[in-house]
Amino acid sequence: MVKKALNTVYAMWLREMLRFSRSKSRIIGSLSTPLFFLVILGAGFSSSFEIRGGGMFDKSFLAPGLIGMSVLFSSIMGGVSIIWDREFGFLKEILIAPVSRFFVALGKAVGGVTTAMIQGTLIMIIAWLIGVEYVSIPGVLAAIGVMFVTGIGFIGLGISLATRIESHEGFQMVMSFLTMPLVLLSGAFFPISNLPAWMSYLVYANPLTYSVEALRFCLLGSSTIPLPESVAVIVLFALVMTGLGGNLFGKMRV
């Protein structure tokens, strides 16, 4: 039984990897937006705020936020594969197999998280190549761990949405509605200290905020939110979303 479950997880993970490797446009598109922000906004912030504190608002400050944004987009987009598989009948064929639906969802989740980590790591490497300095190698490795936990949480959210939305177009609309506020209210583009009270509530209620702050600490050595608090929140978010996604996937009608 355990071997069958592991084979199911591996098969679904491998399918997601093959789909990702064959979609060159997806890879390029997922990297182009963060790189655009990193280069253009980094240069703009550096020149605009040089009198008010020098390099704080340059590409080094932006890099962790853009890595988090890349992981967010890629992870939630993992839910689209469920809609595609349902529309083309593949999901129905898989779900008649004598294995728990949870392991099918887990395989898709691991595949989605793997692609998210690949893209986040590529952004991190490119940022380093264009001049962002990281504090240490262990910090970089810790940042990869943060990407993994963040990806687990948001792929769980993506799977939860995909089980309740029947069309690809509907999923894209909901995704656009969710992702932009999550990114803009995460502190990816601005410090989260000294914000207006109403905005602070939204920022601190956003799970992506804690991921960005954890990445900022691991890569740059400082953050507004203490690292243990950030890690605790994103781990809790990942556990809740994994449970929710698995439960809704188990009840999904195909």
Q: Got the DSSP string for 135-174?
A: S-HHHHHHHHHHHHHHHHHHHHHHHHHHHH---HHHHHHH
129-185 confidence digits (pLDDT tens):
887 889 999 999 999 999 999 999 999 898 888 888 877 777 778 887 888 889 888
**How many other CB atoms are there within 10 angstroms of residue 165's CB atom?**
19
Which of the four pLDDT bands, split at 50, 70 and 90, describes residue 51? very low
Distances in Å between the alpha carbon of 49 and those of 65, 86, 134, 165, 213?
18, 50, 22, 44, 21
pTM metric for this prediction: 0.84
Mean pLDDT of the chain: 81
